Amino acid sequence: MLEDKFDEISLKELDKKLKEIQLWATMQRSDEHMLYHMIDNLCRVAVMYNDVLMQLLRDGHIVTSDPLNYIEAKFSTPYSIYKKRMNIDNEQYK
């Protein structure tokens, strides 16, 4: 079923591109550092999803011990930044 929707070569290419974006985001040191921090963490989330799919395709099972915990932890930072930014933006328009 999963093999009908995904292939390992495409997932490896996606993984490579996500890691390139993540590396670029972590090297940025500008006024928009929070944005780059969000990109970094979101790429890490996407890479974990990608790794889990590759493991299922390649091995037939998930080797990573707790991918959901990792995903939730990495997603919490960008979501917190987003919520904080939304509060700031909402306050400006009151």
Under the banding of pLDDT at 50, 70 and 90, the label for residue 14 is: confident
pLDDT digits (tens, 9 = 90+) for 35-50: 888 899 999 999 999 9
pLDDT for 28 beyond 80: no
Structural domain span for residue 48: 2-92
Nearest-angstrom CA–CA distance, 88 and 94: 10
Please tell me the total count of domains within the chain. Answer: 1
**Does the pLDDT value for residue 94 go beyond 70?**
no
pTM of the model: 0.73
Q: What digits encode the pLDDT tens for the residues 53-79?
A: 999 999 999 999 999 999 999 999 888
Q: Residue with structure tokens 């091995």?
A: 59
